[in-house]
Structure 1
């Protein structure tokens, strides 16, 4: 099998080349040449490239390359101070509204995140607090900036993760009897990972629980991620540590129960203290297994009996940590791309976790009103009315249209 070429080193690719690679990855159609996101991102990346080179129409600005160096900007010139300066540059343009500034900056931030994943940058500098500090407060005048999963997007993603589990199980069942034990373990590992991803997607899509209440926060020991002992599938609820700093019961609606029940059966967690959404990160699990089994000796020999350290941790009841909120975003990015979800959004080229919560809020407001939606979303009715004001505007517009038609028909 021919291997794909390795990604170029950061010192061998220009910023302009990275722009094109990024746009190809994010574009639609053959060759990644189409899509509104690509077109809008290309415009903003070009603007950023000119600014970085000192070509932004301001005589006092010479770019991000040191004055005594004669070359084009490179990745070694980028750090959080550069993105902070660019945020300030956007904010100084009086022709731009606050929400427009945020939208333009998010295109650059998304490219920065891609560069981090590709190994061109050591960190997501554009997302750091010091970089975003100069951005103005968003005036909230453009509700479209807030992603909401549409019914079609939700259906596409949930159908994909369903099919992924089904395919993994079928592959496992059709393995020949004399297959290598490690290959059988790898097939089981694929099932467990697919089942975890499916359960996570359904919970985010239908419960409206904040992802920070569901998963681990490395900076807050109280948020260590939901455990199996905190979920009651028979009663249809789970205990979560809410944003308001207290434990509360969240509902698990019908569509969530079957994926969770099937996932629990497949995983068969050894104790109720196991995280519902454990990390599958190999580096994290390798360190964990070595630390836990260090006193027993012959660790490597024991590990060699397992195709993945996660399976060893499962058998030995070594509790892995829950995935983090950043981990959930990475999973949704991967799944959104694999499922080929149709997404046209200025800030996100994937189905982000908060979009699932807002999508469920949209369903509840339209179906049962603001009071019920506020209770389900664990928020105030005032906040829900503000966040979903576009629904009330639509309804009032329909009433006004009906009134006008009645008058005109007289």
Structure 2
């Protein structure tokens, strides 16, 4: 590889991560390699910026471990294959090796066991979950029944929570939206969850911060999704467009949002005035008074809710997950559209960059069709 050393007269330690990535890509002989590695390494640059890591020499094995954990989270959410996540990590390790050789860093933290601890195991897509059509029907029926029970007081569940959870399941099942697009990512300050300002019921669109960090990606809202969103919005009556569609009911998290906005001293003084009002109710009153939105539920919390709902609905899920995962709904929707001969509609619904990506994701359906056709032809001949 034709490595070009840092410019003469400039201390290699002064190069930012972004500058170092640019120099590394420039050093590659192949245009194809540059094109392939640019997106993953730009992602690493963004990671470093979010974590306020200015130069390659500042990186530790703990930082690289955090990057590996983000890759694992993306894999868990269905945004990256395990093989892709591991490849992205390999690109970062190669880049940091370049930094060491060109005196921009003393060591390569991506070579350590700690750095690689959280990388997903590359077992292929054999264990990727697809909700079955029956499971989808079961969970949709259950969350509707659960809401009715909550409204009638037959179960000890807050109706607002039942509304929220039903809306969550319907959006997952009917839109193909990714969990990372709907919920709060505690490791990414830009992914704070969808709000009511992101909903356009008239034009049947939900705007999300999509894969590839693209703002305002359009998620189509079929009638079933629009109806539950409209019903939940009228019930929630959010005071502003900043209010999350899937709010957290954690007292600690909601109070922290208020304290971050108006100061902990002001909040403490106001709480001295609450009298006999329950602290949770008083906190909600303050959030509305100061127009401070509560946080959205996290991706992890959404997975916990789906596990709880799967158990309550007595749905048998015989795989390594043991419950209906958020991304399994997206795969089921894509498979249904693809199997119906609507490959381009599947691409649109899943927002794949190319039809090739859609074909690759559902190639097993073509294989099954081919196998069935072989059986039919041979039966006629024999």
Cα gap change, 1:302 to 1:372, in 2 (>3 Å): same
| 1:183-224 superposed Cα distances (whole Å, 9 cap, x missing partner) | xxx98x811111011101111111111111112222222212
Determine which of 334, 349, 352 is the counterpart of 1:361.
Answer: 334
Report how far residue 275 of structure 1 moved. 0.9
SS of match in other structure, 1:403: helix
Match of 1:318 in 2: 292
Q: Which residue of 2 aligns with 1:302?
A: 274
Counting only pairs closer than 5 Å after superposition, residues 208-357 of structure 1 correspond to structure 2 as 208-247=176-215, 248-289=217-258, 292=262, 294-295=265-266, 297-302=269-274, 304-306=276-278, 308-309=280-281, 311-312=284-285, 315-316=288-289, 317-345=291-319, 347-357=320-330
Equivalent-residue separation in structure 1 for 2:285 and 2:361 (angstroms): 46
Tell me the CA shift for residue 374 of structure 1.
1.4
- What TM-score results when the alignment is normalised by the length of structure 2? 0.63
Q: Cα gap change, 1:303/1:277 in structure 2, threshold over 3 Å: closer, same or farther? A: farther
Alignment of 1:128-207 (within 5 A): 130-133=116-119, 137-140=122-125, 142=126, 145-171=127-153, 190-207=158-175
Q: SS of the counterpart of 2:191? A: strand
Per-residue deviation, 1:300? 4.2
CA contact (8 A) 1:209 1:357 kept: yes
**Which of 392, 398, 401 is matched with 2:366 structurally?**
392
Partner SS for 1:238 = strand
> Does the CA contact (< 8 Å) of 2:257 and 2:295 recur in 1?
no
Alignment of 1:57-76 (within 5 A): none
Range 367-376 or range 224-233, more displaced: 367-376
Q: How many residues align?
A: 265
3-state SS of 2:190 partner: strand
Alpha carbons of structure 1 residues 237 and 304: separation in structure 2 relative to 1, 3 Å: farther
Cα RMSD, aligned residues only: 2.8
Which consecutive residues of structure 1, in runs of 5 or more, have no partner in the other structure?
1-80, 82-97, 100-127, 173-185
Deviation at 1:304, TM superposition (A): 4.5
With the length of structure 1 as denominator, give the TM-score of the two structures: 0.59
- State the shift of 1:349 in Å: 0.8
Determine the C-alpha separation between the residues in 2 that align with 1:327 and 1:279: 9
Alpha-carbon deviation of 1:313? 5.0
For residue 263 of structure 1, report the CA deviation from its aligned partner. 0.6
- CA distance in structure 1 between the partners assigned to 2:275 and 2:258 by the alignment: 9
Name the structure 2 match of 1:46.
none
Structure 1 distance, partners of 2:121, 2:115, is 13
Partner of 2:189, secondary structure, is strand
2:246–2:296 Cα contact (<8 Å) kept: yes
